[in-house]
C-alpha cells in the first residue's frame, strides 16, 4: 500500500498547475497593438482626395506586409473621379509604398514613406461623354503617414503625399477631349484616410 502523502501529492500538483496554465493563456490573449510583432499583415479601406490639374476624390483598398520592426510595404489601389469645366475625369491607380516606422512599439506609428504607381486616367468631354481620351501615367510619391492602434488589431490613420506623374496631359472642352502628344511631368498633392485590420 502506498503512503498517504503520495496519494495526495498528485491532486495537489494538478490543482497548482491549472491556475498557472490559465494565467499564461490570459497573457497570450491580451489585446494586440496593430503593428507590434504579433502583426505581420493588414488589410484596409481608404478615402482619397487629390488636388492637381483636376481635383479628384474616391475610395481604395490596401494590403500591408511588415518586413521588420520598422519597415512595412504597402500595396494599394485607388479609384477616383472629378470634374473641371464640366469635363469628367476618372483615374484608376495601383502602386506600392515603403514605410519606415519612427516609433516602433508605440500605439502611434509615424512613418516617412516613398513609393511608385501606375495610373490609368480617362477624360470625357463635357457635352459629349462618348468623346474620350485616356493615358497611362507612371508616378512617384513621397510623404508622411500617421497611424493609431486601437484594441483588437484595428488601426486608423492618414497620409499626406506629394505626387509626380510622367505622362500625357489630358484636356477637355464641351465637345472635345485631347491628349498632349508630348510627355510631361505633372505634380499633385494627396490626402488619404484609412482603417486597417491587422492579423
Q: What is the CATH number of the domain that holds 122?
A: 2.40.160.20
Strands 132-150 and 71-84: unpaired
Q: What confidence score (pLDDT) does residue 85 get?
A: 83
Q: What confidence score (pLDDT) does residue 106 get?
A: 86
Q: What confidence score (pLDDT) does residue 6 get?
A: 52
Q: What confidence score (pLDDT) does residue 70 get?
A: 92
Q: Which domain holds residue 190?
A: 4-198
Report the chain (199 residues): mean pLDDT per 10 consecutive residues.
50 48 44 57 97 95 94 97 91 98 90 98 92 96 96 94 97 91 96 95
Q: What confidence score (pLDDT) does residue 17 get?
A: 47
Q: What confidence score (pLDDT) does residue 38 get?
A: 66
On whether the CB atoms of residues 17 and 11 are closer than 8 A, the answer is no
Q: What confidence score (pLDDT) does residue 39 get?
A: 79
b/e 162-193 (16+ beta carbons within 10 angstroms → b): ebebebbbbebeeeebeeeeeeeebebebebe
Considering its fold, how many domains does the chain have in total?
1
Q: What confidence score (pLDDT) does residue 23 get?
A: 45
- R_g of the chain computed on alpha carbons: 26
CA 128 to CA 106: how far, in whole Å?
A: 53
* Beta-bridge mates of residue 123: 89, 133
**This prediction's pTM:** 0.79
Burial of residue 84 (number of CB atoms within 10 Å: 0-12, 13-18, 19+): middle
Q: What confidence score (pLDDT) does residue 20 get?
A: 47
Amino acid at each position: 500500500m502506498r503512503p498517504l502523502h503520495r496519494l495526495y501529492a498528485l491532486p495537489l500538483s494538478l490543482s497548482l498547475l491549472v491556475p498557472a496554465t490559465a494565467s499564461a493563456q490570459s497573457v497570450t490573449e491580451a489585446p494586440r497593438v496593430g503593428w507590434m510583432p504579433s502583426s505581420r499583415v493588414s488589410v484596409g479601406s481608404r478615402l482619397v482626395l487629390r488636388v492637381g490639374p483636376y481635383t479628384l476624390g474616391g475610395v481604395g483598398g490596401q494590403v500591408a506586409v511588415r518586413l521588420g520592426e520598422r519597415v512595412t510595404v504597402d500595396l494599394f489601389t485607388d479609384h477616383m473621379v472629378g470634374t473641371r469645366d464640366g469635363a469628367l475625369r476618372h483615374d484608376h491607380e495601383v502602386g506600392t509604398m515603403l514605410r519606415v516606422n519612427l516609433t516602433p512599439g508605440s500605439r502611434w506609428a509615424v512613418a516617412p514613406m516613398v513609393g511608385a504607381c501606375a495610373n490609368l486616367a480617362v477624360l470625357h468631354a463635357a457635352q459629349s461623354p462618348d468623346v474620350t481620351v485616356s493615358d497611362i501615367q507612371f508616378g512617384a510619391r513621397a510623404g508622411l503617414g500617421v497611424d493609431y492602434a486601437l484594441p483588437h488589431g484595428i488601426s486608423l490613420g492618414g497620409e499626406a503625399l506629394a505626387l509626380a506623374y510622367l505622362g500625357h496631359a489630358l484636356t477637355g472642352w464641351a465637345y472635345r477631349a485631347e491628349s498632349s502628344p508630348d510627355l510631361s511631368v505633372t505634380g499633385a498633392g494627396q490626402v488619404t484616410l484609412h482603417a486597417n485590420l491587422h492579423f
